[in-house]
Structure 1
Amino acid sequence: PPCLPFFLDDDDSPPCAADFGGFFAFSVPLSLAGAPPRSEPHSITLTFSGAAEYVTPSSSQRKKLYETHIPIPLRQKVFLAAGSAVTALSNPLRGDMVATLGETTGHLFLERMRDRMLEDPMGRRILRERPVVNSQTIDLDRLRALPNRTFGREYTRWLDTQGVSPDTREPVRYVDSDELAYVMRRYRESHDFAHTLTGLGVTVESELALKWFEWAQMGLPMTALASLFGPLRLTSEERNRLFTRYVPWAVQCAVGSKFLMNVYFEKWFEKPLEEVRRELGIYLPEVPENDGFSPAL
């Protein structure tokens, strides 16, 4: 009979799709009225990074649309979305789960983002040329040698200060369109540019502030869920500060600024950071000196 995948934690706790970090998987038979019997085995492979791959003879034979594509049936996407949502909302810093949630819930919104890119000359150029952001395509040492306060220099300063790398972004796996997969990849690889422009760091509070910015600009479901439920992990003081000061800034700044998916960031590295912000319509949140939450740049 058809089976629904569930997950076990290492401590053999009851089945729960919320924790994709466990190492065991099993299937529970489910009787569906009128459903023909299926003899093919079902299994879910959990990697140590938290990514889940649903494998059956039929799904493994589905056509891969790009190198990292993992084609899976709709109902498996539903379970993957539910499990990644719970994990990502409980810990917004789990990049693997945030990535999976975005890919399994964002098809219509990715189409809208693609359409907005097609309406803009630079957006069309980005879709045509498909630039990639990693340490192989961008000479980070050259950017570090640029004058202070240039966009490229401050971008690498932000990377070094926060201890992150452009190579740490999760590959796109579950988007069933080559073009939309690139849109998701571009959004993901541009995330650190948005951090640099807004001056926000990588703390939970900073990430949530940026998620509100991205939700207002792009409307991806994962940014909405993170924006609404992520604050539950904050202290009452942090939550009050987020909603009274940084959420209004994030929404107003996002609505009034240029759609960041239409920005060819790689062409702006030599420009002064303040000039880039001014041309894009981005301004920093006002941070009092005694505020415990301050921009990284």
Structure 2
Amino acid sequence: MLRGKATVAAIQPRRTFVLASILSLGQLVVGREARLADAMARGELHNKNEDYKAKQEQEQEARLQSLRNTRPSAPRYEGHVPLWWHEKALLFGISGLRSFFHPENGINIVQLGEATAVPCFLESLRRTMLSDVTGRRILREQPNISEPDLDMDKLAQLPTNTLGHTFYRWLRKEGVTPDTRAPVTYIDDPVHAYIFKRYRQCHDFYHAITGLPIIIEGEIAVKALEAANIGVPMAALGALLAPLRLRPRQRERLRNVYLPWAIETGLSAKPLINVYWEELLEHDVDQLRAELGIRVPPDLRLLRQEQLQRHRSFKMKYESFEK
């Protein structure tokens, strides 16, 4: 009996050793096959000459060419995605509906802006820039507006009455940054693409110099200003259609105060697309407003708060009168 138990005890370690050996051998074989497959994919086995690398490059170029053949033209600048006319129409329809029902989604606004940036508008804007000394220089130098380019730490140290500090203070108050502006994608002409990029990047300066916040009413007012001043189609659509989704008090404020201000200021001010904002950061902001012909509208947040307090006060008096 003891002998039988000893035999079983001796067999069990051997079985464990055999199973472990088989498992290790299997892992070795599978691992070796995987490494061989990776090496073959990299051309390190059987194809150690330059022909294999050239073949890989040819195959990659063929795939890229196949993708290019599905587009109406080759990309003309970094990030450019050429679209067929029916794709542009579809982009306009879908982004327009999404912008109306979900204006809080910036992607919808970005796509609608490019879908409505027709060549005749962009060419008109180009002529406006070419007719001005500063505008021509902007087109030639093609500056970029971003936090590193502007040096936000330096702006924070400027006197409070300068454009730079006003811009810095507005960005921090609203919790936004110029770095969030999306690159241009669907505009075909490279010069037109830069002009639209410039307009898009200068949008925050329009907010800062007018003091309008990024709440929906402030955005509509700035869009109306852009439409009147430089004729941006998407801005005109936004100023006309976006108020339809607002509450009556919001529409009343826009109708009575901010839309008349935006149209009057936009038509009388100098073309804002020709302003080299980066070179004016140390200028007195009030003097700059006077030079550009921009009149500051009433403080939107303060006006909203005052009207809300009056409404609540009237409501309380009405309820107490009923009692």
Q: TM-score range by the shorter chain?
A: 0.7 to 0.9
2: CA distance between counterparts of 1:287 and 1:196?
Answer: 12
2: CA distance between counterparts of 1:289 and 1:210?
Answer: 15
1: CA distance between counterparts of 2:254 and 2:300?
Answer: 14
Judge conservation of contact 2:212–2:299 (CA < 8 Å) in 1: no
> For this pair of structures, how many residues does the alignment match?
240
**Offset of residue 87 of structure 1:** 1.1
The answer to whether residue 74 in structure 2 is matched with residue 78 in structure 1 is no
1:111 corresponds in structure 2 to: 123
2:79 corresponds in structure 1 to: 68
- Residues 144 and 93 (structure 1), Cα distance of their counterparts in 2 relative to 1, 3 Å cut: same
Post-superposition CA distance 1:36-89 (Å, at most 9, x none): xxxxxxxxxxxxxxxxxxx96523583111101111111101001110011112
Paired letter, 2:73: R
The answer to whether residue 99 in structure 2 is matched with residue 88 in structure 1 is yes
Judge conservation of contact 1:287–1:293 (CA < 8 Å) in 2: no
- Residues 289 and 193 (structure 1), Cα distance of their counterparts in 2 relative to 1, 3 Å cut: closer
2: CA distance between counterparts of 1:163 and 1:288?
Answer: 17
Judge conservation of contact 2:209–2:285 (CA < 8 Å) in 1: yes
The Cα RMSD (Å) is 1.9
**Offset of residue 216 of structure 1:** 0.6
Judge conservation of contact 1:257–1:282 (CA < 8 Å) in 2: yes
2:225 corresponds in structure 1 to: 213
- Residues 81 and 56 (structure 1), Cα distance of their counterparts in 2 relative to 1, 3 Å cut: farther
1: CA distance between counterparts of 2:175 and 2:301?
Answer: 25
The answer to whether residue 200 in structure 2 is matched with residue 188 in structure 1 is yes
1: CA distance between counterparts of 2:301 and 2:72?
Answer: 59
TM-score, normalization: structure 1? 0.77
List gaps (5 residues or longer) in structure 2: 1-65, 307-323
**Offset of residue 287 of structure 1:** 5.1
**Offset of residue 275 of structure 1:** 1.0
Judge conservation of contact 1:92–1:226 (CA < 8 Å) in 2: no
1:148 corresponds in structure 2 to: 160
2: CA distance between counterparts of 1:273 and 1:252?
Answer: 20
Structure number with larger C-alpha Rg: 2
Identity %: 40
- Residues 219 and 203 (structure 1), Cα distance of their counterparts in 2 relative to 1, 3 Å cut: same
- Residues 293 and 112 (structure 1), Cα distance of their counterparts in 2 relative to 1, 3 Å cut: farther
- The worse-fitting range, judged by mean Cα deviation, of 102-111 and 58-67 is 58-67
**Offset of residue 138 of structure 1:** 1.6
The answer to whether residue 108 in structure 2 is matched with residue 97 in structure 1 is yes
- The worse-fitting range, judged by mean Cα deviation, of 86-95 and 276-285 is 86-95
2: CA distance between counterparts of 1:93 and 1:169?
Answer: 15
> Structure 2 matches for 1:22-33, cutoff 5 A?
none
1: CA distance between counterparts of 2:301 and 2:201?
Answer: 32
Judge conservation of contact 2:72–2:84 (CA < 8 Å) in 1: no
The answer to whether residue 187 in structure 2 is matched with residue 166 in structure 1 is no
Paired letter, 1:63: A
2:137 corresponds in structure 1 to: 125
Post-superposition CA distance 1:173-209 (Å, at most 9, x none): 0000000000000000000000011110000011001
Task: Give the strand-richer structure, 1 or 2.
Answer: 1
- Residues 202 and 293 (structure 1), Cα distance of their counterparts in 2 relative to 1, 3 Å cut: farther
Paired letter, 2:162: T
